[in-house]
Chains A and B, each alone.
Chain A
Amino acid sequence: MENLNLILPEIFISISIMFLLILGVFKKDSSKITVNLSLFVILITTIITINETFSVNKETLFNGSVVIDQMSSLMKIITLIGGFLVLVISSTYLKTFKIYNIEYPILILSSILGMMIMISSYDLIVFYMGLELQSLALYVLATYNRDQLKSSEAGLKYFVLSALSSGLLLYGCSLVYGFSGSTNFDIISNQLNSDEYVLTFGIVFILVGLAFKISAVPFHMWAPDVYEGSPTTVTLFFTIVPKIAALTVFIRFLYVPFLNLIDQWQMIIVFLSIASMIFGAVAAIGQTNIKRLIAYSSISHIGYTLAGLATATNEGIQSSIIYISIYVVMNLALFSCLLMLRRKDQYYEDIDDLSGLSKNHPLLSLCLLLILFSLAGIPPLAGFFAKFYVFKAVLEQSMYFLAIVGLLSTVVAAFYYLRIIKIIYFDKEKDKYDTDHSLWLKFSLTLSTILILFYFIFPSPLIEVVSRINII
Chain B
Amino acid sequence: MNFPILSSLILLPIIGSLFLFFTKDKEGNNLTAKYVALFTTIVNFLISIYLWIAFEQSTSSFQFIEDRIWIEGFINYKVGIDGISILFVILTTFITPLCVISVNNSVKNRLRDFLIAILIMESFMIGVFCALDLVVFYLFFEAGLIPMFLIIGIWGGTRRVYSAFKFFLYTLLGSVLMLVAIISIYWITGTTDVVKLYEIGIDVKYQNLLWLAFFSSFAVKTPMWPVHTWLPDAHVEAPTAGSVLLAAILLKMAGYGFIRFSLGLFPVASEIFTPLIYVLSVIAIIFTSLIALMQEDMKKLIAYSSVAHMGFVTLGIFTLQQQGIEGSIIQMISHGLVSAALFLTVGVVYDRMHSRLISTYGGLVSIIPKYSILFMIFALASLGLPGTSGFIGEFLILMGAFKDNFLVAVIASLGVILGAAYMLWLYKRVVFGKLINEDLKKIVDLNKSEYFILSCLAAPILFYGFYPDPLINTIEVSVKDLISMHETNLASK
A interface with B by C-beta (< 8 Å)? 362, 373, 378-380, 384, 388, 391-392, 395-396, 398, 400, 403-404, 407-408, 410-411, 414-415, 418, 421-422, 425-426, 456, 459-460, 463-464
Assess the B72–A463 pair: CB atoms within 8 A: yes
Query: Which residues in B have their C-beta under 8 angstroms from that of A404?
Result: 176-177, 180
With contacts A408-B173, A411-B169, A464-B72 taken as known, whether A425 is within 8 angstroms of B150 at the C-beta atoms is: yes
A459 to B145, CA, bound (A): 22
Find out whether the CB atom of B179 lies under 8 angstroms from the CB atom of A391. yes
Contacts of A407 in B (CB 8 A): 176-177, 179-180
Task: Count chain B CB atoms within 10 A of each CB in A379, A403, A425 and give the residue with the most.
Answer: A379
What interface size band does chain B fall in? 20 to 34
B138 located at the interface, meaning its Cβ lies under 8 Å from any Cβ of chain A in the complex: yes
In the assembled complex, the CB of A241 is this many whole angstroms from the nearest CB of chain B, namely 28
Given A373-B146, A391-B183, A395-B187, also A460-B138 (CB < 8 A): no
B interface secondary structure, majority: helix
Asked whether A426 and B70 contact (CB < 8 A) given A407-B180, A414-B168, the answer is: no
With A379-B139, A408-B173 given, is the CB distance from A422 to B180 under 8 Å? Answer: no
> Measured between C-beta atoms, what is the minimum distance from B182 to chain A in Å?
10
Interface residues of B (CB under 8 A from A): 25, 70-72, 135, 138-139, 142-143, 145-146, 149-150, 153-154, 160-161, 164-165, 168-169, 172-173, 176-177, 179-180, 183-184, 186-187
Q: A426–B160 contact, CB under 8 A?
A: yes
A396 to B139, CA, bound (A): 20
Contact: A395 with B180, CB < 8 Å? yes
Instruction: Determine if B139 and A426 form an interchain contact, defined as CB atoms under 8 angstroms apart.
Output: no
Q: A378-B143, A459-B71, A463-B71 given; name 11 further pairs at CB < 8 Å.
A: A379-B138, A384-B139, A400-B180, A407-B176, A408-B173, A411-B173, A411-B176, A418-B165, A418-B169, A422-B153, A422-B161
> B139 touches which one: A380, A395, A403 (CB < 8 A)?
A380
> What are 30 sample pairs from A and B whose C-beta atoms fall under 8 A apart?
A373-B146, A378-B143, A379-B138, A380-B143, A388-B135, A388-B183, A391-B179, A395-B180, A395-B184, A400-B180, A400-B184, A403-B183, A407-B176, A407-B179, A408-B173, A408-B176, A410-B176, A411-B173, A414-B168, A418-B149, A418-B164, A418-B165, A418-B168, A422-B161, A426-B153, A459-B70, A460-B70, A460-B71, A463-B71, A464-B72
Bound form: Cα–Cα A344–B192 in Å: 54
Do A426 and B154 have beta carbons less than 8 Å apart? yes
Task: Give B127's nearest chain A residue, CB to CB.
Answer: A380
- Cβ–Cβ contact A425 & B154, under 8 A: yes
In the complex, A193→B168 CA distance in Å?
Answer: 50
Contacts of A362 in B (CB 8 A): 25
The residue of chain A having its C-beta at the shortest distance from the C-beta of B173 within the complex is A411
Chain B: minimal CB distance from A304 (Å):
13
Q: Write out the residue numbers on chain A whose beta carbons fall within 8 Å of the beta carbon of B145.
A: 378
B173 touches A378 (CB 8 A): no
The CA-CA distance from A380 to B186 in the complex, in Å, is: 19
Q: Across the interface, which residues of A come within 8 angstroms of B168, CB to CB?
A: 414, 418
